[in-house]
Amino acid sequence: MQDEVARPEEAWLTLLVVGGWEAAESHQGANAEDRAVIYVWTELADGLREAVSLSQPDWCLINVSDPGWAERALVSIRSVYPGLSIAVLGEPSDYGLAELWFRRGVRVYIGLDSSIVRALGCMRASTELDCLVMERRANEALLADQLMAAPALLEGARLSEREVEVIRLLREGLATDDVAIRLGLSKRTVEWHLTHLYNKLGARNRVDLINMTRQF
């Protein structure tokens, strides 16, 4: 783990990857594109508590390939920051393992074959929506894939191309401000699109909208 990394003002979160993950190693440090500061701690030995104290992460992502060590790592992390948001990294489709870790208070389960960008998106979604996220399930429900499976529903809702773009970005875990930046729109315009989407689809709020589009 790097000793010092300058944290940019626009950073969305600081992530400490515990146990190593090849996908995260090339993203170490301050990454403006990901809007994150990423540390990787690969030592399966003492020093984890110090690493957590030094990095002061918003999230810890624990590689659970070695369950016994991962459990000890979780205990060590919580001894420093009891309320820290925890994600784990494991076999992509092991729903039983994911449920086991969710019961231990983990908020996000990431597949080993995922990308760091995808992992960050899941953590953002978990934070914003205050929910548990199974990365593989979210991946299977991506709007781009589901729209092709049910064109009649999309046609019936008469969604515009821009509205579909807004939904897709919301499903990636972006906040309203970030959707506006990505699409080159004002925040008020994005909010206007959201209001129309709620009315068209009968959604009560953002969570409803995201859940409903999983059926597309």
Q: What is the pLDDT along the chain (216 residues), one digit of tens a residue?
A: 544 444 444 446 889 999 888 888 878 887 777 788 888 887 755 688 888 888 889 999 999 998 888 998 999 898 888 889 999 999 988 888 888 898 888 989 999 998 888 888 888 878 877 777 888 766 444 333 333 333 334 444 567 788 888 888 887 778 888 899 999 999 999 998 888 888 777 777 776 677 677 544
Same domain, 178 and 127: no
How far is residue 71's CA from residue 106's CA, in Å, rounded to a whole number?
A: 11
- Look at residue 4 and tell me if it is in a domain: no
| Phi, psi (degrees; rounded to nearest 5) at 164 | -65, -40
Same domain, 91 and 112: yes
Tell me the residue range of the domain where 47 lies. 13-139
Q: Select from 139, 156, 184 the last residue of a domain.
A: 139
CATH number at residue 55: 3.40.50.2300
Same domain, 118 and 155: no
DSSP category for residue 109: E
CATH number at residue 178: 1.10.10.10
Looking at the structure of the chain, the number of domains it has is: 2
How far is residue 191's CA from residue 104's CA, in Å, rounded to a whole number?
A: 36
* CA geometry: angle 108, 56, 28, nearest 5 deg: 75
* Contact between residue 19 and residue 65 where contact means Cβ atoms under 8 Å apart: yes
Helix (H, G, I), strand (E, B) or coil at 112: coil
How far is residue 15's CA from residue 208's CA, in Å, rounded to a whole number?
A: 28
* Contact between residue 189 and residue 202 where contact means Cβ atoms under 8 Å apart: no
- Look at residue 2 and tell me if it is in a domain: no
Which residues lie below 8 Å from residue 126, measured CB to CB, with a gap of 6+? Answer: 85, 87, 107, 108, 132, 133
Give the number of residues written for the chain.
216
How confident is the model at residue 211, as a pLDDT? Answer: 67
How far is residue 73's CA from residue 64's CA, in Å, rounded to a whole number?
A: 10
Same domain, 78 and 184: no
Please report, for the chain, how many H helices and E strands are present, in that order: 12, 7
Same domain, 48 and 89: yes
Same domain, 43 and 94: yes
How far is residue 108's CA from residue 111's CA, in Å, rounded to a whole number?
A: 10
How confident is the model at residue 129, as a pLDDT? Answer: 72
Same domain, 52 and 132: yes
Same domain, 83 and 152: no
How confident is the model at residue 2, as a pLDDT? Answer: 47
Q: Select from 91, 116, 139 the last residue of a domain.
A: 139
Same domain, 31 and 67: yes
